[in-house]
Structure 1
Amino acid sequence: MLTPDEALYALLCKYLLKEADSNEQRWVNTWLQANPEHPVLLASLDKLLRTAPEQSEAGRMDTETAWRLLSERMELQEGSGGRAQRGMSDKWEQGGGNGVIRTRWMAAAAAVFLLISAGLWYITHQNERQINYNGAQLVKLDDGSSIQLEPAAQLQVLPGFGKKDRKVILKGKATFDVTTDAFHPFIIDLGNQAITVLGTRFSVDNSSQLRVFIHSGKIKVTRQQDSVILTAGMLLQEDSSKQHYQVGAHIRDVETRAVVFKDTPLREVLQTIHVLYHINVTADAALLELPVTGTYTGEPVKNVLDAIAYSTNSNVINKGADYELRPQD
């Protein structure tokens, strides 16, 4: 069984290797804020982790040998300015029981050395294994891409990421900022459909029915034999039967329902309103090609339709939950 010191260092190594789950990450973040010396200790451990001998193999050395090698490395770092490690060690040795504390530190340090060796094996083989992320957090991938996960989201980075392609599996809602790499397409597996990216920023909500908004760039959403190309300002949404996609355009921000129309045919405007507000708006065929210009942010749909009706010389007819635009007499 690990001692408290060993358990702490094991958790810190796990945190540095990005293997900690969301609860463990929160615990370490709280620990870092509890004492100004804690970040110093973590930085020292991170430096040891990054510079440990590549030839070391987890579990191969006994505790005494592990401590001797780690001690030599710490003394070497101390001679080149590693006062943080010395300060922490001196502090632990103050007050009675120096021998006991020193022994516990040696045991903990030896455990850390073995964990570092295991960490090197992990780093070497991490592209050959699946990495899972759960809950709200910012995930930074090796290719420079970042993914902001929402609270209920689940992300799996598949084995071989970055070799042939960059493939992940998403459940829930997340915002992607993908680094451009034409030779290694970024693929998001959504189960029965997929998104292929070359480099862009976009949001995906795969909680129930798929909803994708493009902040910049271009992506392709694929389902079986069907595919849709989306560019900046476009919002894709599945209909309730999940038989086809609905796509709106000219959207500046989904959360605030900010849209900008400039000589946009009424047909496209009504399609965007349908996707953004989840309502159906029909119009007389004579109106559908009329140009619409206007900027709206956070407006109720009735206000938007009244403004459109004024510019197209039409009337808004309320039909229950839906609306209709009819030419004025």
Structure 2
Amino acid sequence: MNQFEFDQLLEKYLNGECTPEEIAFVEQWSENMLSIASTPLSASEQQNLEKQLWERIQQSIGIKPFKWKIWAMAATVLICVGLALKWYAWQDSPEQLIRQSIASSNWGVIDLTNHSSTVQKVTLEDGSVVQLNPNSTISYPEHFGQKTRTVYLKGEAFFNIKRNPAKPFVVHTGDLVTEVLGTSFTIKSYENSKSIEVLVRTGKVSVYERKNEEKQKRNGVILTPNQKVVFVKDSRKIIPSLVEEPVVIVPPVQLTQFIFEETPLAQVLQHLKQAYMIDFEVESDAFENCVFTGDLNELPLHTQLDLVCKAVNANYEQRGTVIFLYGTGCK
């Protein structure tokens, strides 16, 4: 069972929607949590912890409010989790505590930290490959669930995900969630950083804030190759942009693809768009008759654009995920 599935199970339990088998599972978990608590709670402490825990769980995993007529069984679970919270001195979020309890109960969660000075390759059971940067940690189950493939990342890693349309791959990094079917991307999520970054190399990635909202109202974006997103933790803003050094996504069929001779500017930009999968916009009609002659092979995108713009009296500016050309144009 992965983190997402356990969140859903706990929500069902507190809403009285579990099957007998699921109830037994949660009860066993609560007993495990009770066993790790070393200090008993008084009645007033139990009541206070129960109230605080409910508020935190409701904020973190999206349980809808309901009247405080919880069955004795559910109250027992809350108190047991409250004991665990006291044990951990309230230092972690409920999500982290639940994940830690899963790991401590031998439920098959692997916590792997790269203590070396080089990138460490991690191969998951589905064939996906994670290149874990130094001083970074990834947590993942030995066996993925039936609906999703969920992992947790602290630090930085490059993911090359094996495609599986029936089972999305989900990466949790604090309050940001990255969800894909099969693609390659990099995530930078360091605890002391003010932001989280997701950079896409291939495929399509959905990035959204982990909040208590319906999917159609989530704060998020869809990223395509050579695009990235920066999630600012304090303001909770998601800012889409382009990666610093875009790379060719669709290699040229012929080596002469980036060699131009008296080629209209529109065709040159179309070639670049097809190769890098980046949108270009020309802001003025002054470029309609502009042509470009030159060899752009084996040059980075920004150098290619510098040469093209110099030839047609233009400048370029990146706005979000689009590159705009502007200027006086050709005479």
TM-score (norm 2): 0.43
Structure number with larger C-alpha Rg: 1
TM-score (norm 1): 0.43
Q: Which structure has greater helix proportion?
A: 1
